[in-house]
């Protein structure tokens, strides 16, 4: 797939309009920056049904769609933090937890009161020394946005020969195109064959090929 076949800017903007746009972003991004999604990259509906029976609740439509689309793709879900498998989903303090920070420093979930929504808000709960101060805090206004951001975030953080670290103050950013804001406290930039993510003063990027990385 060449650069004309996937418009990252348009796909990111469309992802903010609804969950179909979020899944289109994940599909296009996966194909452009790795390999296309396949029928074995998601969990079966029966596995999600079993999770519902075990937990005694109904999973939101958007959560089921994400798991069925790319839940098994570790490069899009579990390079840095971890997307729980259906049989690992659990309830904690009024929320269904679906993702954990790799050292347990945070948990992401959906409030039980919001499970009846097709695409409910996602929340986050930092792990604090004073447990009495822990609260579920707003994360993304829709689960589908949180899932799409997760796919981009985890792929960019994949540690291999196509990854690179940058200084956010480097003059190279003047040569990159800023992309639409997507995700809490994240900024995105692109150049030919390169995608860069900036967060909290830290920048990391990923090239599609070794040749594009060398050129960058």
pLDDT of 84 reads 98
CB 179 within 8 A of CB 190: yes
Whether the per-residue pLDDT at 81 is higher than 50: the answer is yes
Token duo for residue 75:
């490069």
pLDDT of 21 reads 97
pLDDT of 39 reads 94
pLDDT of 1 reads 40
Cα separations (Å) of 97 from 36, 53, 110, 160, 185? 28, 16, 7, 29, 21
pLDDT of 158 reads 93
* Torsion angle, alpha carbons of 1, 17, 90, 128, to 10: 100
Return d(Cα 145, Cα 116) in angstroms, integer. Answer: 18
Return d(Cα 94, Cα 57) in angstroms, integer. Answer: 12
Higher per-residue pLDDT: 152 or 164 = 152
Mean pLDDT to the nearest integer, 155-170? 89
pLDDT of 36 reads 97
Q: What is the pTM of this model?
A: 0.93
DSSP assignment string, the chain: --GGG--HHHHHHHHTT-HHHHHHHHHHHHHHHS----TTSS--HHHHHHHHHHHTSPPPHHHHHHHHHHTT-HHHHSSSSEEPPGGG-EEETTEEEEEE-TTSSEEEEEEGGGTTSSSPPEEEEE--SSGGG---EEEESSHHHHHHHHHHHHHHT--STTEEEE-TT-GGGGGSEEPPP-STT-EEEEETTEEEEEETTEEEEEESSHHHHHH-
pLDDT digits (tens, 9 = 90+) for 87-136: 999 999 999 999 999 888 899 999 999 999 999 999 999 987 777 788 99
User: Domains of the chain, with CATH numbers?
Assistant: 3-154 (3.40.1580.10), 157-215 (no CATH)
User: Exposure pattern of 131-153 as b/e (b: 16+ CB <10 Å)?
Assistant: eeeeebeebbebbbbbbbbbbbb
Higher per-residue pLDDT: 64 or 172 = 64
Mean pLDDT to the nearest integer, 191-205? 90
Whether the per-residue pLDDT at 2 is higher than 50: the answer is no
pLDDT digits (tens, 9 = 90+) for 6-63: 999 999 999 999 999 999 999 999 999 989 999 999 999 999 999 999 999 999 999 9
Model confidence band, residue 3 (pLDDT cutoffs 50, 70, 90):
very low
CB 185 within 8 A of CB 200: yes
pLDDT digits (tens, 9 = 90+) for 169-178: 887 778 899 9
pLDDT of 145 reads 98
Higher per-residue pLDDT: 142 or 103 = 142
CB 183 within 8 A of CB 124: no
CB 114 within 8 A of CB 120: yes
């Amino acid at each position: 797939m060449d650069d004309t076949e996937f418009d990252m800017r348009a796909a990111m903007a469309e992802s903010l309009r609804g969950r179909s746009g979020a899944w289109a972003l994940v599909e296009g991004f996966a194909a452009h920056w790795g390999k296309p999604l396949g029928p074995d990259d998601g969990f079966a509906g029966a596995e999600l049904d079993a999770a519902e029976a075990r937990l005694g609740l109904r999973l939101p439509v958007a959560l089921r769609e994400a798991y069925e689309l790319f839940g098994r793709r570790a490069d899009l879900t579990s390079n840095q933090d971890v997307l729980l498998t259906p049989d690992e989903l659990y309830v904690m303090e009024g929320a269904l937890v679906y993702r954990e920070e790799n050292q347990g420093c945070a948990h992401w979930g959906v409030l039980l009161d919001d499970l009846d929504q097709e695409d409910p808000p996602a929340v986050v709960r930092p792990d604090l020394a004073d447990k009495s101060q822990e609260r579920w805090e707003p994360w993304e206004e829709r689960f589908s946005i949180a899932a799409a951001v997760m796919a981009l975030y985890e792929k960019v953080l994949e540690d291999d020969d196509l990854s690179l670290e940058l200084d956010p103050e480097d003059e190279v950013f003047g040569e990159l195109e800023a992309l639409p804001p997507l995700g809490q406290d994240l900024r995105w930039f692109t150049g030919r064959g390169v995608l860069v993510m900036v967060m909290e003063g830290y920048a990391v990027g990923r090239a599609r090929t070794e040749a594009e990385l060398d050129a960058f």
